[in-house]
Structure 1
Amino acid sequence: MIERDITNELKLSAAEYPVVTILGPRQSGKTTLARMTFPDKPWVSLEDPDVRMAAEADPRGFLGQYPEGVILDEVQRLPSLLSYLQAIGDRQGGKGRFILTGSHQPRLHEAVSQSLAGRTAVLTLWPFSLHELRHYTPTLDAFDLIVRGCYPRVYEEKLDPRRFYNGYLQTCVERDVRALIQLRDLSAFQKFLVLLAGRIGQIVNMASLANDVGVSANTLRQWLSVLKASYLVFELPPWFENIGKRVIKSPKLYFADVGLAAFLLGIHTAEQASRDPLRSNLYENLIVADVLKRLCNAGQRPEMFFYRDTHGNEVDLLIRQGRQWMSVEIKSASTFSMDFLKGIERFKRAAGEQAVGDGVVLFNGEQIHTVQGVRVVNPLRETGWLVC
C-alpha cells in the first residue's frame, strides 16, 4: 500500500490531540492508513463480536490493557466507548494515544461530538485521489477511471471492478442501510440507488424521484441522509452570496466514488463510459470528488459550491481561496471551445471582479494553454492548477 496523501495531516493531528478520529466510507483505507502510520500501536477491531463484547462488558478494563494507546477500528460499532476515552484522556493526558476509525454514522457522529469535543481531531479519508492513483496507473484515462473508480482494493488487489462493486453494494451499502433504518423494501431502495446514479451532477427533485421509486419523498430524504452519513454521496451547495433571488438555491448531488455510480448505471467498460449520455456528468463527478479529496487530504475545510442563475448560466465548481472564489468549468470534451468560458464570465459579472480569483477550465484534451486569462488544463495530466 502506498503512503496516503493525508498521512502528514494525520501525524500533525496526532502530535496535537490525544485522540484522532479517521472517518470515511467503508474500504477507503482507514485501517491500513492508521496501522501504517502508527506501526507500533496495538490494533483491535470492534467488528469482532468477541472484542466488542469484552469492551462493552468492561470498558475500563478493556482500555486499561493499552496504557500507551491503541488503534480502535470500526468504532461506530460501540460508540459508548468514547466517553471512557474522554475520561482517560482527561486523567492521563498525552498526545496521539488513541487512533479511531469508523464509518461516519449518526450515532458515531453524536458520540464524537458529545464525548470527544475539543479532544479529537477528525479527518476524512476518501478513496484514492488522482495523485495517489498515479502510483498504480502513471497514465490516467478519464473513462477508464469512471468504470474502475478509486477504491484502493481495486488497484491494490487488481480486482475486476464489476465484481468489486457488486460485492460492495451488497455487503457494505445494503448492510449499513439495513442497520440504520427499517428497510422494508430492498428492491425499492435498489431502484432508488440506480435512479440517484442517473442524477449525478444534477439538482435532485425529490418529489419527482419519489414518484419514480414509488415511495414518499420523506422516505427518500431519510434514505439520502443515510447515504450522506455513510460517505457514499455528498452534496455541492449553491453559491448565492449577495445575489439574492436570482440564483438556484438547491444543492447538486455526487457520488463519493464515481465507479459505484457507473456500476449502478450498467457501465462496465471505458468505451461504454465514453459514449454514455451521462458521460459529462460522470466526468464532472470524478473531478469534483477529487477536489474534495485534495482539500480533505491537506487538512482544509472544503468550501466548495456551484453557481447557477435562473437563466441557466452556470459554473460547475467554485472553490474559496481566501476572500476570493476560483471558478472552475468541467468539460468531458477533448477539444476546447470558447463556449467553455461563458459561465465563468457571467459569474464574474454577477459576483463582481473583486470577489473572483482564478478561472480554470478542466477538460479531457491534451493541450494546456490560457485563454482570456483563464487556464485550460487536463486535470489528469496536470495537478498544479489547484494549490491546497
Structure 2
Amino acid sequence: MIPRAAYSLVRQLLAGFPIVTITGPRQSGKTTLARSIFAERPYRSLEDPDLRALAVEDPRGFLATLPDGGVLDEVQRAPDLLSYLQSNVDEDRRMGRFLLTGSQQFGLMSGISQSLAGRTAFVELLPLSHSELVCAGISSEDLDTHLFTGGYPTLYDRLITPQHWFPAYVASYVERDVRQMLNVQDLDAFQRFVRLCAGRSGQILNLSSLAADSGITHNTARAWISVLEASYVLFLLQPHYANFRKRLVKAPKLYFLDTGLLCWLLGIQGKAQLVTHPLRGAIFETWVVSELRKAWLNRGERPLFYYWRDSNGNEVDLLIESADRLMPVEIKSGQTLNKDFFTGLERWVGLAGSMAQNPTLIYGGTGSHERKPVQVLGWRDLIGVVPRK
C-alpha cells in the first residue's frame, strides 16, 4: 500500500466521532485506506448483492454482526441503512466504531445529512498527490509523466498503462454511476459530452455553448455536469466577487480532478504529445489546482479556492482565501520565466491592496526563488503554496 497523507487525519477524527466517512472518486484508494486503518475489524462491501440484500432487508440484523463496528464500503448502495446506523451509534456511545466509504455524493451526502448529522466526520480522498508519490519514492522527475499518468493508485501498483486502464475505468465506473443516478439512455451523447468537457478544463464554463456542441439541451448539460461533480470526475471553481471597481465574470471555471483521465479523454496517447499539445497549458493548470485541492483536503481543511477575472480579460488563475486575506496564484506551464507571467498578479495586487497576501507564481520549470513581492515556485515545490496566517 502506498502511504496516504490522510491516514493520520482519519485516525485523529476517529478519536472524536463514532463514524468517519471517506468519500472520493472510485478507485482513489478509499477502501485500501479504510481497511488499513481498521485492519483488525470486519469489512463489508455493499457492492456485494448478498450483503446489500441483508443490509436492506434486515438492517438491525446486519449491524448486529458488527458489535465493535467495522468498514462499510460503498454505503450509498443501501441508503436506508444509515437511519439504523444512527440508532446504533446513539445507543453505543463509543468513538471510532465505523468507517464508511462512498463514491457518489448525491445518494451518500443526502442520506448522511438526514441521518448522521453530527455523528460523522468527512474526509475527501482524491487520487494520489505529487507529495504522496514523492514520499513513496515513486515520483517521476518528469512533469509530463505526472500530467499524462495522473494519480489513480492502480497505475502505480500494477503493470498497466493509462491507455489500457482509463477506458475500463470510464466504462466500469463513470458510465455506470451516470446510469444509476440519471438513467442516461443515450450513452454516445454522454461520452461526447464528457470529451467536450475535457476540452474545456481550465476554462470558464459556458453551459449554452457546451450544450449546443454536444447536441443536448441546456438543462441536460446542467444535470450531466452535476453528475460528473457528484462522481468526482470534475469540479467547478467559483469566481471571487470582491468588487475592485471592475465588472466581474460570474460563471465558474471547470476543472477535471485527474489529469491522467483528462489526457485520455483528449485522445493523448503518450507523454511526448504533451510537449506541443495546444491544451498543455490548460492541462498543467488543471494539475496544479487539483494538487493544491488535494493538499488542503489531506489536512482536513476546506479549500476556499476561487478565481478572478474582470470584463476586460484581466485574470488571476486562483485565489486562496485565508481569514480576511486572499492569496493570488498565477499558473504558467512554460519552463522559462517571462515578465508577462507576472502581469496578472501585479495588476490584481494593485487592485486588492491590503487584502492581498503572498502572491505566488507556479510555473513548469524547476527553480524556485522570490521576485518581490511574488514567490516563484517550480512545479516540484507546490507544497510551498501555504497562506500565511
Please show how residues 277-356 of structure 1 align to structure 2 within 5 Å. 277-352=278-353, 354-356=354-356
The equivalent of 1:360 in structure 2 is 360
Answer whether contact 2:199 2:266 (CA < 8 A) is retained: yes
The equivalent of 1:48 in structure 2 is 48
- Output one character per residue of 1:60-80: Cα deviation in whole Å (capped at 9) or x when no partner: 011011111110001011011
- Of all paired residues, the percent bearing the same amino acid is 45
Answer whether contact 2:25 2:103 (CA < 8 A) is retained: yes
The equivalent of 1:90 in structure 2 is 90
CA drift at 1:328: 0.6
Please show how residues 215-234 of structure 1 align to structure 2 within 5 Å. 215-234=216-235
Answer whether contact 1:327 1:359 (CA < 8 A) is retained: yes
Answer whether contact 1:136 1:155 (CA < 8 A) is retained: no
Answer whether contact 2:368 2:381 (CA < 8 A) is retained: no
Greater Cα offset, 19-28 or 34-43: 34-43
The equivalent of 1:12 in structure 2 is 12
Are positions 1:3 and 2:3 aligned together?
A: yes
The equivalent of 1:150 in structure 2 is 151
RMSD: 1.4
Please show how residues 83-162 of structure 1 align to structure 2 within 5 Å. 83-134=83-134, 135-162=136-163
What is the distance in 1 between the residues matched to 2:245 and 2:61? 57
Greater Cα offset, 363-372 or 259-268: 363-372
What is the distance in 1 between the residues matched to 2:159 and 2:302? 32
What is the distance in 2 between the residues matched to 1:245 and 1:225? 30
Please show how residues 213-252 of structure 1 align to structure 2 within 5 Å. 213-243=214-244, 246-252=247-253
- Output one character per residue of 1:175-225: Cα deviation in whole Å (capped at 9) or x when no partner: 110111121211111110111100000012111111111110100111110
What is the distance in 2 between the residues matched to 1:368 and 1:132? 20
Q: Secondary structure at the match of 1:302?
A: coil
CA drift at 1:375: 1.3
Answer whether contact 1:76 1:107 (CA < 8 A) is retained: yes
Give me the TM-score of the superposition, normalised by structure 1: 0.97
CA drift at 1:322: 2.5
What is the distance in 1 between the residues matched to 2:387 and 2:356? 16
Please show how residues 190-209 of structure 1 align to structure 2 within 5 Å. 190-209=191-210
What is the distance in 2 between the residues matched to 1:124 and 1:170? 23
What is the distance in 2 between the residues matched to 1:182 and 1:89? 34
Q: Secondary structure at the match of 2:296?
A: helix
What is the distance in 2 between the residues matched to 1:71 and 1:243? 49
Letter in 1 for 2:334: A
Letter in 2 for 1:115: S
CA drift at 1:111: 0.4
Answer whether contact 2:327 2:387 (CA < 8 A) is retained: no
Answer whether contact 1:234 1:253 (CA < 8 A) is retained: yes
Letter in 1 for 2:193: F
What is the distance in 2 between the residues matched to 1:198 and 1:89? 46
- Output one character per residue of 1:13-56: Cα deviation in whole Å (capped at 9) or x when no partner: 11000111100000000000001112111111000000111111
Please show how residues 20-35 of structure 1 align to structure 2 within 5 Å. 20-35=20-35
CA drift at 1:245: 6.0
Which structure 2 residue ranges, 5 or more long, are not aligned? none
CA drift at 1:136: 4.4
The equivalent of 2:269 in structure 1 is 268
Answer whether contact 1:332 1:364 (CA < 8 A) is retained: yes
Q: Secondary structure at the match of 1:375?
A: strand
What is the distance in 2 between the residues matched to 1:375 and 1:245? 26
Greater Cα offset, 150-159 or 297-306: 150-159
Answer whether contact 2:320 2:387 (CA < 8 A) is retained: no
What is the distance in 1 between the residues matched to 2:262 and 2:116? 34
What is the distance in 1 between the residues matched to 2:200 and 2:237? 13
What is the distance in 1 between the residues matched to 2:236 and 2:347? 23
Greater Cα offset, 238-247 or 106-115: 238-247
CA drift at 1:242: 3.5
- Ranges of 4+ aligned residues in structure 1 off by more than 6 Å: none
Letter in 2 for 1:127: P
Answer whether contact 2:316 2:344 (CA < 8 A) is retained: yes
Please show how residues 60-75 of structure 1 align to structure 2 within 5 Å. 60-75=60-75
